[in-house]
């Protein structure tokens, strides 16, 4: 995108704050903390249960690469600064709106996406940047929900269908919203006059879990999760019955939602997601398709491992780090690293048998491979960690997706993606 084009997109968004905006996923991008919540005065009706995370978090940047904590923290802070405060043409993806709102811009497509908003909220709560978090959630809560019709309560997004974005209520972003809000409640509490993180988190989980009971369905709209399979749907539509995306399955989050709410459905959903990963991933390469049936078969037209699939590597790493009793995660991490051969040979998309579809390298996959190398035991894991650490900050039009994946992966690799 040209400088003039980016400036036009920015002005258009500032002028159209109250208008409908497109958002969703991007598929073509070129130590231990507290584990229980502090006491507060949140009314019992919106109280969340305490979360139980790990007592320690792996930090291979320190333990394998022998990096100093100061250098690690400085790189994370600099990456955040460039994404949120850097040069508006080549680096920044965050834009402030008015006195108390802001959004993340997918520069490549000139739109706001729930994927990026959710990831940005998770980043800001992990890095203890409350003002940014509140601004992001205030914008998302005001500008992105459907206000009427069968999709009321869901968030506007876009999904790739046949290589083109189509409007939809993508489950990925709202799941990030809900987890980030629960962490915000655990980290900052719910001060009077500020955002009630607990109430907003529970309202979101209620919609994700049982929209039909909350405000009805119709017109082909369904709940986000299949009641019987306990799997999140590709999109909440009757046309998507029986299919999901491995990259939007987040069992680590579901385990924490079960702890926070006492709803056993979420524990079942966590186990269902893990089982789905295991039957969907290629037995030799570890790669998973963009879309799959509940039985684990690739969906026609979405059979390959695509840029959107990179998010599954982070999800696998988190589930292993937070709830590490599952051997499959480590084994599949090793299979993935073997499939990529070496950091220098990482491409952009693959057939599930490991055949690269292109020799062009996507920096986002280098970063995601570093995240999954955190839990791997293969002798090559250090190479992937080093490559992810040394990879330059992405600039220009593709920086939205690659930049977010870089920062999230740095948090994973440094033991700073934590349960609060």
What b-and-e string marks burial along 326-348, b requiring 16 or more CB atoms within 10 Å of the CB? bebbbebbbbbbebbeebeebbb
User: What is the C-alpha separation between 210 and 225, in angstroms, rounded?
Assistant: 8
pLDDT of residue 161: 64
Residues 47, 260, 180, 79, Cα dihedral to 10°: 120
Stretches in the chain below the pLDDT threshold 50:
1-45
Spatial CA neighbour of 176 closest among 404, 410, 403: 404
User: Which tokens is 190 given?
Assistant: 């719910």
Alpha helices for 221-263 (secondary structure H): 251-261
pLDDT of residue 27: 36
User: What is the C-alpha separation between 168 and 237, in angstroms, rounded?
Assistant: 9
SS3 314: helix
The dihedral of CA 165, 171, 177, 183: what is its sign?
Answer: negative
CB atoms within 10 A of CB 11: 10
pLDDT of residue 23: 34
pLDDT of residue 271: 98
DSSP, residue by residue, 60-92:
HHHHTT---HHHHHHHHHHHHHHHHHS-TTTT-
The H or E element spanning position 164 is strand 164-168
pLDDT of residue 50: 95
Architecture of the domain made up of 61-413: Alpha/alpha barrel (1.50)
Query: Domain map of the chain by residue range?
Result: 61-413
pLDDT digits (tens, 9 = 90+) for 37-63: 333 444 444 689 999 999 999 999 999
Angle at the Cα of 185 (from 130 to 188), degrees rounded to 5? Answer: 45
Query: Phi and psi (nearest 5°) for 150?
Result: -65, -25
Instruction: Report yes or no: 352 and 303 within 8 Å, Cβ to Cβ.
Output: yes
User: Which tokens is 133 given?
Assistant: 């978090």
**What are the angstrom distances between the C-alpha of 2 and each of 5, 8, 96?**
5, 10, 21
SS3 217: coil
Give the long-range contacts of residues 330-334, CB within 8 A, separation 24 or more: 330/375, 330/376, 330/377, 332/277, 332/278, 332/281, 332/286, 333/286, 333/372, 333/373, 333/375, 333/376, 333/377, 333/378, 334/286, 334/376, 334/377, 334/378
Spatial CA neighbour of 304 closest among 330, 278, 285: 285
Spatial CA neighbour of 10 closest among 110, 109, 86, 83: 110
Cα(first)–Cα(last) distance of the chain, in Å?
A: 39
Strand 101-106 vs strand 111-112: parallel, antiparallel, or unpaired? antiparallel
Residue owning tokens 């599954």: 312
pLDDT of residue 359: 84
CB atoms within 10 A of CB 107: 25
User: What is the C-alpha separation between 197 and 190, in angstroms, rounded?
Assistant: 6
User: What is the C-alpha separation between 272 and 270, in angstroms, rounded?
Assistant: 5
pLDDT of residue 325: 82
Instruction: Report yes or no: 390 and 349 within 8 Å, Cβ to Cβ.
Output: no
pLDDT of residue 46: 61
pLDDT of residue 140: 96
pLDDT of residue 111: 86
């Amino acid at each position: 995108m040209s400088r003039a084009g980016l400036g036009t997109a920015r002005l258009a968004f500032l002028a159209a704050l109250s208008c409908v905006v497109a958002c969703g996923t991007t598929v073509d991008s070129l130590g231990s903390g507290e584990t229980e919540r502090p006491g507060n005065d949140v009314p019992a009706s919106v109280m969340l249960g305490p979360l139980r995370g790990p007592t320690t978090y792996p930090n291979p940047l320190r333990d394998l690469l022998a990096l100093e904590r100061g250098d690690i923290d400085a790189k994370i802070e600099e990456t955040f600064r460039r994404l949120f405060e850097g040069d508006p043409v080549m680096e920044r993806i965050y834009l402030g709106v008015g006195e108390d709102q802001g959004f993340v811009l997918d520069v490549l497509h000139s739109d706001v996406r729930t994927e990026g908003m959710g990831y940005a909220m998770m980043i800001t709560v992990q890095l203890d940047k409350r003002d940014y978090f509140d601004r992001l959630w205030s914008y998302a809560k005001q500008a992105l929900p459907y206000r009427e019709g069968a999709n009321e309560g869901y968030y506007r997004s876009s999904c790739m269908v046949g290589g083109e974005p189509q409007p939809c209520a993508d489950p990925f972003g709202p799941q990030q919203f809900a987890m980030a809000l629960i962490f915000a409640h655990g980290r900052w509490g719910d001060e009077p006059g500020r955002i009630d993180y607990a109430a907003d988190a529970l309202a979101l989980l209620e919609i994700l879990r049982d929209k039909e009971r909350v405000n009805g369905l119709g017109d082909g709209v369904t709940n986000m999760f299949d009641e019987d399979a306990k799997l999140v749907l590709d999109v909440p539509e009757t046309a998507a019955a029986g299919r999901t995306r491995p990259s939007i399955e987040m069992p680590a989050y579901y385990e924490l939602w079960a702890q926070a709410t006492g709803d056993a459905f979420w524990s079942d959903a966590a186990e269902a997601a893990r089982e789905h990963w295991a039957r969907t991933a290629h037995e030799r390469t570890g790669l998973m398709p963009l879309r799959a049936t509940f039985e684990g078969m690739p969906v026609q037209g979405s059979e390959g491992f695509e840029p959107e699939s990179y998010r599954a590597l982070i999800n696998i790493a988190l589930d292993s780090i937070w709830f590490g009793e599952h051997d499959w995660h480590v084994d599949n991490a090793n299979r993935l690293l073997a499939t990529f051969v070496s950091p220098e040979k990482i491409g952009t998309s693959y057939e599930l048998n490991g055949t690269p579809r292109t020799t062009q390298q996507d920096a986002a996959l280098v970063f995601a491979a570093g995240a999954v190398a955190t839990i791997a035991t293969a002798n090559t894991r250090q190479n992937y960690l080093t490559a992810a650490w040394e990879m330059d900050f992405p600039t220009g039009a593709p920086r939205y997706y690659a930049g977010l994946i870089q920062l999230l992966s740095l948090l994973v690799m440094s033991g700073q993606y934590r349960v609060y």
